[in-house]
Amino acid sequence: MQQVNNAIQGNTRLSVVVRFHKEERLPFLEEAVFSLAIQDWDDLEVIVVLQNGTDELQRAVESLIHQQPWPDSPQYKIVTVPITEGVDGRSTLLNHGIKHATGRFLAFLDDDDYVYHHGYVTLIRQLLNGESVIALGGCRRALMQPNDDHWFIQTKDQFFAWGRTRLDLFRENFIPIHSYVIDRSRLGDFKLYFDDDLPPLEDYDFLLRLCSKFEPDFAQFETPVCEYRIRLDGSNSLAYVPDAPSHVVAAQKRAQRLIRERKESLISNMPAADLVKLKEGLLESIGERRADDGNQTRDVQEINDGTTAYQPEPDNRVLLKITQDIYLFFSRHPDWERRLSNTLHTSWKAYKRLRR
């Protein structure tokens, strides 16, 4: 790992790993690669990893790459990985892509998603101006409907904007795989890999491990850098529609169970300041601090360094217990929690606009 860090320390290349597994998805791949060809960050290497790619498919992908409007000759690699029939090889494809990446910066893009032209330059500049390992950007959700032989985008929204912190990520994933860039020169001995046991939530497991070690940079999270495209016919790898195929639902439930189990043993490097913020946020949610200047029971006591610590009265302890019960309830129903959080963030934004 140290040799890798030394080799990439001085370069500015961005390696983008694109996984591809079905020939009929070539039209999707073409749009994804087009979004890479028009990037404002021009030192870019594309690594397309094919699942059981034939010579014919490799030629088709190579031709597709050369048809895009690159500013210069494209830097790319096409890697074929054998995957046993019936095995979900998504993690394996990504891991092979990581092995072939030569850039200091690393990103991932599924063949049916899209990155805006300013996306990578926004995130890389954020990394260069800071000290973080991973910079996150905003992602729009695009709902797509089929029409004859092509797809069209029906609506776009800010579905993924409900989270704002690493603690939100630990509760549930709101960061799509193509909405961040990693600076590999700052990883130290941390190994980047996707777990073969976790599809279709291998990207969430990857982020949990990475962000338990390194604090993610959310400074550009208000800036949409990409689209996450959901096809309303249920053909995505996750069950986004009520009539999603039964095998998709079963695989997702299995992965969710494994994620819950891994969270129980996940150890996070979290600064003490973040823990203080966590405590303060909980306490502020059940009432403001107040000091009693008379003989009433005091809610605030002075501690050695001159700061104050909140001491809840009996009634407030009841409120704290209710708050904890509500949190536990929503932790068992992540879809409801996400919808509620998204609604609250949207309402708060609208309220701030009205106050201006």
207-243 tens-digit pLDDT: 999 999 999 999 999 999 999 998 877 655 554 555 6
- Residue 109: phi, psi to the nearest 5? -145, 120
What is the pLDDT, as a whole number, of residue 267?
A: 87
What is the predicted pLDDT for the residue at 348? 60
- What confidence score (pLDDT) does residue 7 get? 60
**CB neighbourhood size of 229 (10 A):** 21
Beta carbons within 8 Å of 261's beta carbon, 6+ residues apart: none
Q: In the prediction, which pLDDT does 250 show?
A: 85
How high is the pLDDT of residue 278? Answer: 63
How far apart CA 206 and CA 306 sit, in angstroms, is 41
What is the structure's pLDDT at 301? 36
pLDDT at 38: 98
C-alpha atoms less than 13 angstroms from C-alpha of 147 in its C-beta half-sphere = 6
Instruction: For 37, list phi and psi in degrees, rounded to 5.
Output: -65, -30
Query: What confidence score (pLDDT) does residue 173 get?
Result: 92
Amino acid of residue 82? P
pLDDT score, position 6? 56
Name the residue type at position 291.
A
- C-alpha radius of gyration, the chain, whole number: 23
Structure tokens at 153: 């985008």
Spell out the alpha helix ranges (H) of the chain: 2-8, 26-37, 55-66, 90-100, 119-128, 166-171, 202-213, 246-265, 272-285, 314-332, 334-355
Kindly list the domain boundaries of the chain, sorted by start residue.
2-265, 272-355
Alpha-carbon span 223 to 226, nearest angstrom: 9
Rounded Cα distance, 95 and 17, in Å: 9
Residue 71, classed as helix, strand or coil, is coil
The predicted pLDDT at position 291 comes to 44
Q: By the 8 A CB rule, do 83 and 92 touch?
A: yes
- Report, as ranges of residue numbers, the positions in the chain whose pLDDT lies below 70: 1-9, 234-244, 272-342, 344-346, 348-349, 351-353, 355-356
2-265 CATH pick, 3.40.50.12160, 3.20.10.10, 3.90.550.10, 2.40.37.10? 3.90.550.10
pLDDT at 158: 87
Joined tokens for residue 128: 């260069």
Cβ 14 vs Cβ 103: under 8 Å: yes
Q: DSSP for 86-146? A: T---HHHHHHHHHHH--SSEEEEEETT-EE-TTHHHHHHHHHHTS--SEEEEEEEEEEEEE
- ω before 242 within 30° of 0 (cis)? no
**How confident is the model at residue 86, as a pLDDT?**
86
Nearest of 24, 89, 108 to residue 51 by alpha carbon: 89
Within 8 A by CB and 6+ apart from 323, the residues are 282, 285, 286
Q: What is the pLDDT of residue 350?
A: 72
pLDDT at 330: 56
**What is the tens place of the pLDDT at every residue in 24-45?**
999 999 999 999 999 999 999 9
Q: Which residues pair with 186 in a beta bridge?
A: none
Nearest one of 168, 161, 134, 133 to 278, comparing CA atoms: 168
Question: Which pLDDT does position 246 carry in this prediction?
Answer: 80
The neighbour count for residue 269, using CB atoms within 10 Å, is 9
What pLDDT does 148 receive?
Answer: 74
**127: exposed, middle or buried (C-beta count within 10 Å: 0-12, 13-18, 19+)?**
buried
CA dihedral 85, 22, 59, 196 (to 10 degrees): -60
Q: What is the pLDDT of residues 188-211, one digit of tens each?
A: 999 999 999 998 899 999 999 999
